[in-house]
Homo-oligomer: A and B are copies of this chain.
Amino acid sequence: MVLELKRPQDATLQALAGSTRTFLSYLLSFVYIAIYWNNHHHLFQVVERVSGGVLWANLHLLFWLSLVPFMTSWAEENDYAVWPVVGYGVNLFLAGSAYFVLQQAIYRTAGGSSLREALGRDVKGKASVVIYVVGIGLAFVNPLLAIGVYAAVAVIWLVPDRRVERYLAAREATAAD
């Protein structure tokens, strides 16, 4: 599935302004996919040989990410009604969980305890999943508020995960000794 952005009907500035919400929803989904792509890239720098389990955990994550454009377009076409926004949140929740499972699969194969220590308690990962649940609950009260909560999680993640960078630097330093 491909993220879509429909062009405004007219060639006026007003028509473009009328697309603001569409644009913001495109931006949010783009940022979400970018966040996963970035952290994913980081995570795989650690992996030396990919096992069957890691491949499957990876495709499991990819499956939920492949539904993000679907949920985005459902929410948008229905003016951010309750159920599509709930669905969007459930989708993000499942993608977040899949990322957690992928991390575990990589621990088991490649990293061992030193990687696990480097990543620490994974506060951001666990917090995100909790915040998604809060957002899903809020969607029943006010869907736009829920979108705001989902966006807040994105902002938390925009700061890249420096733990893996530190781990790689430390490993190189050790190897150089």
Residues of A in contact with B (beta carbons under 8 Å apart)? 1-5, 7-8, 10-13, 16, 27, 30, 34, 37-38, 41-42, 49-53, 55-56, 59, 62-63, 66-67, 70, 73-74, 77-79, 81-84, 87, 158, 160-162, 165, 168
Contacts and interface: CB of A to CB of B under 8 A. Distances in A.
A5 B165 CA distance: 37
24 contacts: A1-B5, A7-B73, A7-B74, A8-B74, A10-B78, A11-B79, A11-B81, A11-B83, A11-B84, A13-B83, A27-B63, A30-B63, A34-B56, A34-B63, A37-B59, A38-B52, A41-B55, A42-B52, A49-B168, A51-B165, A52-B160, A52-B161, A52-B165, A56-B160
A47 to B, nearest CB: 13
Given A30-B66, A41-B50, A55 B160 contact: yes
